[in-house]
Amino acid sequence: MHHLLPSWPLLTAFLFASIVLAVTPGPAVFYIVTRTMAQGRRAGLASVAGVAFGNLGNAIGASIGLAALFAISSLAFTVVKYAGAAYLVYLGIQALRTKETEVKAMQFGAADMKRIFRDGFVVALLNPKTTIFFAAFLPQFMDPAAAPMVQSVALGALFVAVAATTDCIYTFAASMLAPAVTQLRGARAFGRYLAASAFIGLGVFTAATGSRSSK
């Protein structure tokens, strides 16, 4: 384990920083909560799994030098960033196109879990900021005497596990609030438009913010 994880003081600092970052609401949390409110706890947990695997892919990508590519290539960063933003907008448009009869018939467990898992995976994976975050964050807690790739993958996986745990807490909290919301008159239609607005707004926000100057 000495070659996989840093010393206990560094590991403690890493876990603390990971928890703080994981509980801070961001695009992934917003996506998971929206899915849970709209389609139930199972859909939320499927989203958590998809997002976790997408984040793990980013951690591995950072470990093999993908972050370095983004750092030196504005084109690569821009292509992946806008692909992720476009996918979020696509999800919003799909929500708007859902027929009212389909929304009324939707119950817990009726959603396509494989599709929801895939959506969460793609949303998380197509976020170059996450890869760059791993490349900048993980080295601060690594032992220079050990293999950097092995350590970064191990720390990345640990961060993903922490984030998945906090995402599950968000999912259970959202699922407990969902029944009260769905009892309101017109709540299903409102939820559909809210979900569409959330996805489209998040996609536009992702595309419009976080840009960096190319030098």
pLDDT tens digits along 8-60: 887 888 898 889 888 877 777 878 888 888 888 999 999 999 999 999 998 88
pLDDT at 70: 60
Distance between CA atoms of 90 and 32, rounded to whole angstroms? Answer: 16
pLDDT over 80 (residue 182):
no
Angle 161-203-122 from CA coordinates, rounded to 5°: 40
Average pLDDT across the chain, whole number: 76
pLDDT over 70 (residue 122):
yes
- Token readout for 177 is 């609030």
Torsion angle of C-alpha atoms 87, 67, 57, 195, degrees rounded to 10 = -30
Distance between CA atoms of 143 and 151, rounded to whole angstroms? Answer: 8
Tell me which amino acid residue 72 is.
Answer: I
57 contacts 50 by C-beta, under 8 angstroms: no
Chain centroid to Cα 125, Å, comes to: 8
Torsion angle of C-alpha atoms 131, 175, 191, 106, degrees rounded to 10 = 110
Average the pLDDT over 68-77 and give the result. 68
pLDDT over 90 (residue 130):
no
pLDDT at 66: 58
State percent of the chain over pLDDT 90: 16
Burial of 97: CB neighbours in 10 Å, binned 0-12, 13-18, 19+: exposed
